[in-house]
Amino acid sequence: MKKPVVLVSTDIKPLDGFEWHAVISAYVDAVAHGADAVPLMLPCLGAALDLDSVLDRVDGVLLTGSRSNVHPSLYGGEASEANGPYDTRRDGTTLPLIRRAVERRFPIFGICRGLQEVNVALGGSLITEVQELDGRRDHRAPEADDQDARFALAHHVEISPGGRLAKVLGDARIDVNSLHRQAVGRLAPGLSVEATAEDGTVEAVSFDAVPGFAFATQWHPEYWVGSDAASARLFAAFGDALRTHMRMRHDALDAAE
């Protein structure tokens, strides 16, 4: 049986005197092994992309995390060197992609920057440095060269009882990692909060208009998909939604012939 295909967002990275369209391997590995799907990397080509032509060929969208932040001008803020780095070519690609994928009711999984992109794309705002707010914890990654230490489970999140995410993870408190400075400020219309940290930080949202699996998390389930039960359940549920979409897509193609 053919496997579903997942569009995976990329970053613009300078390396060896060139600009690379790149993504961390943990995301493509999680798609391949956690969701049992085929990852397809999307270059940051902005308006040069025909989004419908791309989406016609895939079954879902994964919005990856990144060291870069969404540019504040996109939600009424002001850019600063301290809040950077920025990746405006990624912004110009992912935000239109999100809006079109929502319109077409695609399975969507946003992670870290991906959640922030979702909120901005649909009309929300971001807190640029959440650790500077009174009563908020420091959600940044620990200073460490070892990635396992940086991505270690760091705090609890409460899953909203009776919500859509609870159907995947249960009405429970789970442990998650934490590697972010930005967070949801004003929640965008069309999103529902599915999980929060103990300090009130929004940790997961769902898309009201998209049935099935359509979530974004502030934590990084891709890193521990092979060993953490909650991370594995998220990617397995994403894979189920992808296969459902693939069957519907193939049925529609067959009917059109």
Write out the catalytic residue numbers: 112, 220, 222
Helices (H), 104-210: 113-121, 147-150, 166-169
CA atoms within 13 A on the CB side of 182: 32
The closest alpha carbon to 219, from 145, 87, 109, 124, belongs to 109
Determine the angle formed by the axes of helices 113-121 and 88-103, rounding to 10 degrees: 70
* Cα separation values, 253 from 50, 52, 246, Å: 20, 15, 11
100 φ, ψ (degrees, to nearest 5): -75, -40
For residues 11 and 68, the answer to whether their CB atoms sit within 8 Å is yes
Q: 178 in helix, strand or coil?
A: coil
Cβ-contact 157, 166 below 8 angstroms: no
